[in-house]
Structure formats: C-alpha cells, structure tokens
Structure 1
Amino acid sequence: MTQNTDTAAALGAPLRVEDLRVSFPGARGGELTALAGLGFELAQGQALGLVGESGSGKSAAALALLGLHRGTAARVDGRVLVRPRAAGAEVVDVNTADERALRSVRGRELAMIFQEPLTSLDPYRRVGDQIAAVRRMHFGESRKEAAQRAAEALEKVGIDAAGKYRAFPHEFSGGMRQRALIAMALVLEPRVLVADEPTTALDVTVQAQILDLLTELRRETGMSLILISHDLAVVGGTVDEVIVLKSGEQVERGPVRKVLTEPQHTYTQALLAAIPRLDAQLPEPKPADDAKPPLMRVRGLEVTFPAKRGAALTRAVAGVDLELREGESLGIVGESGSGKTTLGRSLVRLQQPTAGTIEFDGRPLGSWRGRELRRHRRDLQLIFQDPASSLNPRRGIGDSIAEPLRVQGEKDDARLEASVCGMLERVGLDPKLYHRYPHQLSGGQRQRAAIARALILRPRLVVCDEPVSALDVTTQAQVVALLRELRAEFELTLVFIAHDLAVVRQVSDRIAVMNAGRVVEILPAADLADAQDPYTRTLLAAVPELPHV
C-alpha cells in the first residue's frame, strides 16, 4: 500500500509516475500494449500536457493514474506515487494500494474530468445534488454544508447556482455540463486535476472559456494539472510541459513552447502540420456561373420548437436567406445553439420549417410527396455528426451503406455489393471491412463509412453536420482532404457545418456565420480574416493560436 521512508522523503512532488505500462488481452492469448513505459514527475502548481492521436495511450494513462483499470481485463505495471497533503502521511502507490488507501487519494488528491460529461453525470439527479453528494461522501458534511460548497463550486466555474443548481444534466448546454464536471472535481479541492479531452466537440468560444477557467483555477488554488488532448494547439496556451505519445510510447517531451516551435520527432511534426490554420493558403475557388440559376434558394426560413413549462417558443432559425450554386461549398459556422444543425436538417427536409421557403433546382422542397419525394431523396443527403450513433450497430457497414440503394429499388445483391465495395475503396476503406460492425472500426473509419453511405446514391447536395468535430487532428485532416477530393470528383454541392472556423475555411468557397438563429455575415473563405461582424471577430479570437514552426 505504501512506499518505504526513503521513497516518501524523495517524493517532494504531489505525483510521480514511474515506468507506467498498460496492456489488454489480445487474440490467441497475446497482449495489446496501450501504454509502454510512461514516466514523469508533476510539481505543485505545474501543468503537463499529454498529446497524441486516438489510440496513442492518453486515456489509458489517465485511467491508470487513478487506478480506474481495476476490475477490468487490463494489466497495469509500474508505479503511480501520490504524496498526500497531510503532514507525515505515507506515499501511496495507486497501482498496489488497497481500496481504503485508494479512496483516500481519489478525489482529495487526484481528481478527474472525463471526456463526455453527458455520460458522466447521472441523468436522473439534479446537477447541484450530484456535486453536493461528492462533498458529503469525502468530507462527511451535512446536506446544508455540502449544498453550500456545491453552490460555491458552480459559481466558481461560471454557472449561476441560484438558477441552475436544481437543473438536470439535459437542461445544460455542452459547455455548462463540462463546467459542472469541473465543479464536481474542484469541490474536493484536489492537488492534481486530470482533464481527459475536456474540450473535445465543444465550440471554439466554449473551448477557450474552459481552458481559461482551468488556468485561472490553477493560479488561484495552486493545483497541478494534467491536460490530455489530441490537439497541440489546445494545450499550447495552458500547460508548461508536454509529452507526445504515439502507439503507447513517449516520442517527445519538453517545454511546450519549444515543442511547438522546434519539434524534433517526425510524429510531432505531423501532428502540428495537421492542425488547421486560419492563415493557411487556400486553393483558388471555382468561379461561379452567375448566369445559371442557384441549385438551392432559401428565403425567410424560420424554425421554431414548442415551448416547455410555459416558456416562450424556441426559435432555432430566424429568417435565414441563402443561395447555393451548383458545385459550390458553403460553410456554416457558429457556437452550439446558433441554429446550424437545424438549418442543415431543413435543407435536406429532415426538419419541417415553420415559415419561409426552400427551393431545390427551381422547385419548393415542401411540394414533394410520395414517390416523387423518395426519388428526390437521391439528390439530398446528410452526413451526421456522430457516425457511431447514425450507423446501425447490429449491421455490418456494408449493409448500412447499401441500404439507400435498396430503398431506391436496387434488388440485385451482386450489384449492391459491387457498388458498395467500389465506394468503400473510394473513401479510403478496405472492401474487406464490408462485414465489420461499427464498433470494430476506428472513429475515422466510421466517419468514412458514413460518407460512403451518403455518396452511394450520387447526390447533388450533401450537408455535412460537424463531420470532424470529435476526430483527432490527423484523422480530421484526412477526412477534410477526402471531402475536397470527392467534391471535385462527384461535382458535389456541399454545406459544411462546424464550429471551428479554421476547419471550415479549408473546405468552403464562402462562409455563413450564424448567431442566435440568424446569419450575421456571409463572406468568401479567403477573406475570413477581414470579417466585420463583432460575433465573427469573437469566433476568430477564440481559435487557439499556433506559432509557425
């Protein structure tokens, strides 16, 4: 459970990791190595970044730091030494400590913010009560005392406790849920906070707020921070030192500024090169044929949702006017809740507008009925944000990709399989994956399968709803490059929805910026830096800065 006196005396830092290894059972009795020998010492108040692609071992390391692999098939070797704050307390090795010793350091000494707050919070309990329960469990406080501490923690992370203490997780935005998880960790006043991808899939302004909050809390409380991310630009302004992981191995380590500006390993260089930049050179846009009528024309589009509990109607889209030329790529950007997804779903008739008109190829979308609607479905396709939830988990991806062809009347199994295998190859997937299930694919492979399903009918217009927001930067760059290639090959008209201006700029000819359901500005992608609207300027300012290498 504890280390000897010499080790305890030598451990002046709150946390030291020595040769940490994590492996999982593999096929035929072998082992799959997730982490191969990680070591570092974290000083009081220091911030360390762990960076790498999906599968690099980041999350395996985070779970091992708190002993969360216990009870699983994982094998953990090495030492995770924690020095409790109490005077004279013995050093605890998380990997060998008994449950009582482990409970004494979890939360109080080491706390963790998990990647997905919606699955980390109990959907049936009020947020404030969940935070108070953590305080009562560790400090034995009364309900009143714990509630007061929970309210203070919510206020500290920028949430109005008076109005939100009794709210449920689903009543919080994504950014607020992430702040609530931070409050739950901070209510225990930990010495070390482990943040596992805390900003993944958040819009750039909320991401900036979360990172600023972590920096401020670290300065105010003196806690140490381990920030885990796939994006070097995200950790760049938050941590002091960074460790780059590849396939479970540490390939580079050093002060964050030096690693960002003078990367030594080719893998680190590749990670930096994959990060989208606002100042990157763009290809010349395809000249618009002004004599040809628009493929799609949107006029005065409004979408409202019913009121809840006597509140006013929710106006998700409020009077949008747009035109799309054949072969054009239009980016739509804005924060969460700005109306981007609702607008995109309306363009492919998956959302019924409350007011206004949408014309496709000169005809109102609302006029299509029955067989005509089914026929026109070929022309309008949507790539969903989360392929894991949009692909049927009980069917092989080949069957899922073939389904649109079946709906359109194709019955010949041989022709179906040939078409699907051809499309799999075109999106960079091995046709041998035809019978694999979604959970057997990586995130990037699933997104490529979702793109294949959308393109199998050779549509004229494809709406891409946040297709790369949850992918690591190298996979994101691959998917963006793929979409650009497919757009040229299939002469697609694209609507690319995202919250990251740097990503949208790579794909789009023009960019429409949405705020509170309205389009506040439309401008050429190449002129994004010259945006005039204050809201667009705010989005630009929130993009993490990356120095030139």
Structure 2
Amino acid sequence: MKEELLFVRHLHVEFQHGGQKEEAVRDVSFDVGCGEIVGVVGESGSGKSTVMCAVLDVLPQDADVSYEQLWIRGGKSSAAMVFQDPSAYLNPTIKVGRQLIETILLHPEPVTEKATQQQKKNSRKRAWEHAEKLLEMTGIRNPEEIMKRYPFELSGGQQQRIVLAIALACRPSLLIADEPTTALDVTVQRQILDRLKRIAEETHTSVLLVSHDLGVVAALAKRILVMKDGEIIETGTAEEIFHEAKEQYTRELVEAARKHGSRSQDKRRISETILFQAEHLSFQYTKFHFLKKKSTEAVQDVSFFLRKGESYGLVGESGSGKTTLARMMTGIIEPSAGQILYLKERWKSLQKGRSKAQCQKIQMVFQNCAQALDPKRTIGEALTEPLEIRGGGMQDVWKTEAAETLFKVGLESEILEKYPGELSGGQRQRIGIARALMLKPELLVLDEPVSALDVTVQEQILQLLERLQREQELTYFFISHDLNVVRRICDRIGVLYNGRLVESGDAEQLYREPWHPYTKELMLSTLTADPKKMRRRRNVPELTSRGGTGSGEENGCPYADRCGYVMECCKKERPELYRFEDREVACFLYSEQHSGKRSKEYRMASQI
C-alpha cells in the first residue's frame, strides 16, 4: 500500500461574479503517493489550475473553498509550483542568481538561532553554491554565467529550467507542474520532461503534472486524472486511460491527440503554378551596445517556393528565424539580401513601396490572437478594419461581409457585437482567421496558429483550415515547432536551423525517413499520445549552445556541436544545400566529396 503525500476529499471551489456564485470545481477527490508522478488532463476551463491553486491555498480572495479533507504531508510549505509562463513569474529587473539565492535563503537548512555574522556570510556563499547545483540538476550547462543574466536574456527553455530550479530550492516533497512545457520547442520540451522525471526519481519528489497535451502526460505520468467542467470524470493508470478509457470524453481527447500523428486524408488539387518564390533571402538584426555595433544574421540564404493551392510547413526551434521569414514574406521587413517573387513579379517590402493590392494577396494569422486583437474594439470593428484601410465600399456592405466571413469560419453573427475578452481561445483563433480572410487573400501565412490551444480545439481549427483551403483554393505557409501538426496538414516541409534551411521535401517522406541529423532529433523529440511508445523511446541528448559550432570555427556547420555524425570537414566549412529530385539537404553526408562518386542509377537515401 502506497504512503500518501497529498490527500484531497470532496473539494469545492466557487467564485463570486457580479453578486452571483459560479462553481469552478465540484466534489473533487484524489491523492498522490510519495514519489508518484500523477498527470491531470482536460481542456482549458476544466478546473485543473484552480484545483492546484486550492491545494496550495493561493486562490484569489473572491474564491470560496470548501472540502472535507485536504492535507499535504509536511504542510503546504513542503509543496512548490512550476507555472506555465516562466517569464511572468521571473522579475525582469533582477538577475537570475539573486532570485534563486533569495528562495534558497528563505528555505534554509536547519541552523541554530544564534547565528554569527560570519555564519550568515557563509550561508550566502553556500546558497550560491547550492544555486549552481540546482541549475546543473535542471540541465543548465554553464550555471555561473546564467546566474549573472537577467531573465529576458534567456531562451524560453532556459527560463523554464530557472523556474524549476527555484521550485526545487524550496526543498519540496510535492512539485506541481502547471503546463510546464506549453509553447516550448519539441526538443526543449522533451528534455524538460526527461529532467523532471530524473529529478523526481533522484530526490523522491512527488509530481502533479497538469497539461492539456496528452503527449506530455504520456511521457511522464504513471497515473492520470481526467477533468471536465470542474469534475474528475475518470482516473486510472496511463495504459488504462490511453487504451481502455471508459468515458466518451476521455476517448475523444485521446483520439484527437492521435490524429495529430497521422496524415490528413483531405484531397486537394495542387496547381503546378508557382505562386510565391523566395530566392536567397537573408536578414540581419543590428544592435548597439555601449556604442558598439553588433549584427546578428537571423535568416541566411533561404530559398523555397510555394505552388498554388499547396500547404508548405516550416519547422524549427524558437530563434531559428521562422517568424523573421514570415515578416519578410508579408512585407513587414525588408530582406538584407535576396528577393521575393509573386507570380514571377518581384515584390518589395511595405517600406519600399509594396502596394495595398499586393498586401491583400498575402495575409497573416498570428499565434496569440488575444494579443493580436484590440481588447477595446468589438469583433465587428476588428473584422471591418482591413476593409476601412483598403478603402472603397460602404459600412453596411462591410458588416455583411464580416457576418458572411464569420459563417465561413463556423461562428454566428451575434459575435460581431462582442469583445475579444468575452470569447474562448478557439473562438479568438477563428476570428484571427476570419480577419485574414476579409481581404480575400491567395496566400495565408499561419504563425503557430494552434500551439496554445487544447487538443480538441486544435483539431477543429485544423479541420477548418482544410475546408477553407478546399473551398477558396488558398495556399498556406504554416509555421510550427510541432511536427505532428505540420505532418497533419502540410504537403511539403522545410526544416530551419539557426537561420538556414537544412532540409526540405515531401511531408510524409521527411517524417518517415529524415535525412538531416537535426530533423531526426526533432522526430525523436516529438511526443506521442501513447505511454507504451513513449517508454520505448530513448532520452533526447542534452543540447549545447544554439549558434556557433562549438569547435571555434565560425565557418563550420552550425549543427556540428550537436551532431552525432560530425566529421572534421563539418568544423571547418558549411555544407551547401544538396538537391536530389524533390528533396534538399544541407549535410556533408550527402556530398560526393565525402561519400564517394555515384552511378547515374543511384537513388539517394537517408545516410543516418
């Protein structure tokens, strides 16, 4: 029989809204054993985070909490929480080291009451050393350097590791991780989860893992609680939930998650006409630090084309240049080098004279529609704004067009009078798509359009995009870090690493047989909604620095310091993009110079 660390019975939570009570959590009971990892899944609004905050007693004052029993072995001070958005919980004006040390000093090891000044000084020195060990434990390779930086100087993955280290500094028996990997790259996401599992095993810490991503839960949890509308509707082992679920809602969640891992059967006609072409695009950011000019090449010599009616997916880590490339496509920024062709006509940026008629042809759907929509303007005003900017027509006609566009994206015209804050995440995403469609574009640039949505809502949005593409013969440029989503909807995929295109080809071929070592790393990091498959996978190796070769040679392959197939030539020169029929790959493994001469009949295959 397991020893219980957390015990909750008949928990209820109500909130006061305008004099009325709204029940957020209803009769929730569960427990967590010592050293156990328990997953909590459900859609946004199901009450997952509310339950966790109730356990830690950190709900707002308007919350009315009642329960029959709620206790944590060692008290609430023996529990810590890792939040979804680390940047919101790290003070941007205080260096990481100081924030971590403050937490350590607030949770010291037992000492005598009459501590001398020297002992206090030594305790601060020990706290610094302990902070370095905690950062190493969470996978930070250079803790001394990281502790001297501010949070905004770190990547999303590094910030998440810092928040995890701060939580561990509390010496918790129970660690609550609330959506700890949402919006992180697949490689960083997998490593955070592997690190979390290792820490739980080494320190015998219990973990409550809250997520709407079933792949995340499948990778870590032994037991799972399924929540819907403030209630736990099903509980069981990971295998039972994923393979023998009793509730229809649970089966729908699992089915929606698995659909992301399979290719869409949607049949579309793809023209041979080249609609859009990027030729050798590069872009440099220039920064000034203490009057010194520093240039960073965000995109380097990228070329690709889009056929009319096709979906082209671009995948890569945060900071790889995906969004910068999208901004060049839509004319927001001017390329430092290269050119953009639309139906063989050269287009300039907005600053250089791209016309309104040209701007209509390419529209963008943003990742976070809550930020892209003005909270003070109604949905009707947001949808008609592009028509006002274009000019021509009457307001009554614009409102009719807005209502018709809403119908196309599956929304009722009553929403026109509502504000963005009154809508769900899925509804706001549909509004973002509708706004982009108002000008009747031919090409939609979709920047992470489903990454922050629940798995069932993701599936609805992807089905909507497929239907719109069929009906309006749209072309999609789909940006994502989730290979399952890209495989689901795209015909071809390009892989971007450190600003360079390292591989491109047919989506299904690239997914089944990656050629570039980095593409293979992405595939291995992709989470699957099946605990049996996840346990059979090996851990993803820890990453070193993202830019630079690690060899001291600036002209070498940027992936050399992470590559398991690295050769001497990789450290000294960059590989060109080798082309084989409809496949491209930037790796010396595919050059004749390093792999030998080939006969005319030879058909290139993966070398990894």
Length-normalised TM-score, structure 2 = 0.81
The counterpart of 1:460, out of the listed 439, 442, 455, is 442
Letter of the 2:107 counterpart: H
Letter of the 2:513 counterpart: D
Give the conservation status (yes or no) of the 8 Å contact 1:285–1:509: no
SS at match of 1:53: coil
Q: 1:266 to 1:308 in 2, by over 3 A?
A: farther
Letter of the 1:22 counterpart: V
Give the conservation status (yes or no) of the 8 Å contact 2:409–2:464: yes
CA-to-partner distance for each residue in 1:179-236, whole Å, 9 max, x for gaps?
1100000112100000000011111111101110110000110000000001222111
- Give percent identity, aligned residues only: 39
The counterpart of 2:368, out of the listed 379, 382, 386, is 386
Q: Which residue of 1 aligns with 2:131?
A: 150
Matched, 1:223 2:205: yes
Which consecutive unaligned segments of at least 5 residues does structure 2 have? 110-119, 533-608
Give the conservation status (yes or no) of the 8 Å contact 1:24–1:31: yes
Matched, 1:375 2:364: no
Q: Which residue of 1 aligns with 2:554?
A: none
SS at match of 2:304: strand
Distance 2:287 2:354 in 1: 34
Q: 1:201 to 1:367 in 2, by over 3 A?
A: closer
Letter of the 1:76 counterpart: V
| CA apart distance, 1:42 | 1.1
| CA apart distance, 1:11 | 11
Q: Which residue of 2 aligns with 1:43?
A: 33
| CA apart distance, 1:286 | 4.0
Higher mean alpha-carbon deviation, 110-119 vs 431-440, is at: 431-440
Q: Which residue of 2 aligns with 1:137?
A: 106
Distance 1:212 1:548 in 2: 14
Q: Which residue of 2 aligns with 1:509?
A: 491
Give the conservation status (yes or no) of the 8 Å contact 2:253–2:456: yes
Q: 1:308 to 1:50 in 2, by over 3 A?
A: farther
Q: Which residue of 2 aligns with 1:421?
A: 403
Matched, 1:171 2:153: yes
Letter of the 2:30 counterpart: F
Alignment of 1:34-73 (within 5 A): 34-69=24-59, 71-73=60-62
CA-to-partner distance for each residue in 1:2-53, whole Å, 9 max, x for gaps?
xxxxxxxx995221111111121245x4322211111112111001111000
Matched, 1:297 2:267: no
Q: Which residue of 2 aligns with 1:18?
A: 9
Q: Which residue of 1 aligns with 2:229?
A: 247
CA-to-partner distance for each residue in 1:414-460, whole Å, 9 max, x for gaps?
11111111111211122111122111111111111111111111001
Q: Which residue of 2 aligns with 1:162?
A: 144
Letter of the 2:106 counterpart: M
Distance 1:124 1:18 in 2: 41
Distance 1:55 1:46 in 2: 25
CA-to-partner distance for each residue in 1:73-92, whole Å, 9 max, x for gaps?
111111320121xxxxxxx5
Q: 1:186 to 1:363 in 2, by over 3 A?
A: same
Distance 1:201 1:111 in 2: 22
Give the conservation status (yes or no) of the 8 Å contact 2:8–2:31: yes
Letter of the 2:487 counterpart: R
Give the conservation status (yes or no) of the 8 Å contact 1:384–1:390: yes
Q: Which residue of 1 aligns with 2:172?
A: 190
| CA apart distance, 1:548 | 9.7
Distance 1:368 1:498 in 2: 25
Over aligned residues, Cα RMSD in angstroms? 2.1
Distance 1:495 1:471 in 2: 19
The counterpart of 2:518, out of the listed 523, 528, 535, is 535
The counterpart of 2:73, out of the listed 83, 93, 114, is 83
| CA apart distance, 1:127 | 1.1
Give the conservation status (yes or no) of the 8 Å contact 1:305–1:314: yes
Give the conservation status (yes or no) of the 8 Å contact 2:258–2:528: no
Distance 1:340 1:230 in 2: 25
Matched, 1:114 2:83: yes
| CA apart distance, 1:157 | 0.9
Q: Which residue of 1 aligns with 2:250?
A: 268
Distance 2:340 2:468 in 1: 25
Distance 2:96 2:49 in 1: 25
Letter of the 2:86 counterpart: P
Which consecutive unaligned segments of at least 5 residues does structure 1 have? 1-9, 85-91, 93-104
| CA apart distance, 1:312 | 5.2
Higher mean alpha-carbon deviation, 218-227 vs 372-381, is at: 372-381
Letter of the 1:72 counterpart: Q
Q: Which residue of 1 aligns with 2:92?
A: 123
| CA apart distance, 1:307 | 4.0
| CA apart distance, 1:270 | 0.5
Letter of the 1:25 counterpart: Q
Distance 1:62 1:279 in 2: 30
SS at match of 1:488: helix
Give the conservation status (yes or no) of the 8 Å contact 1:276–1:502: no
Q: Which residue of 1 aligns with 2:312?
A: 330
Alignment of 1:306-321 (within 5 A): 306-307=286-287, 309=289, 313-321=295-303
Letter of the 2:133 counterpart: E
Alignment of 1:276-291 (within 5 A): 276-277=258-259, 280-283=262-265, 286=268, 288-290=270-272
| CA apart distance, 1:277 | 4.8
Give the conservation status (yes or no) of the 8 Å contact 2:495–2:503: yes
SS at match of 2:453: coil
SS at match of 1:115: coil
Distance 1:370 1:278 in 2: 40
Distance 1:540 1:21 in 2: 42
Equivalent pairs, count: 515
Q: Which residue of 2 aligns with 1:395?
A: 377
Letter of the 1:77 counterpart: S
Give the conservation status (yes or no) of the 8 Å contact 2:263–2:489: no
CA-to-partner distance for each residue in 1:370-417, whole Å, 9 max, x for gaps?
886122111111111111111111111221111001101145221111
Q: Which residue of 2 aligns with 1:99?
A: none
| CA apart distance, 1:325 | 1.0
Length-normalised TM-score, structure 1 = 0.90
Distance 2:73 2:22 in 1: 31
Give the conservation status (yes or no) of the 8 Å contact 1:48–1:242: yes
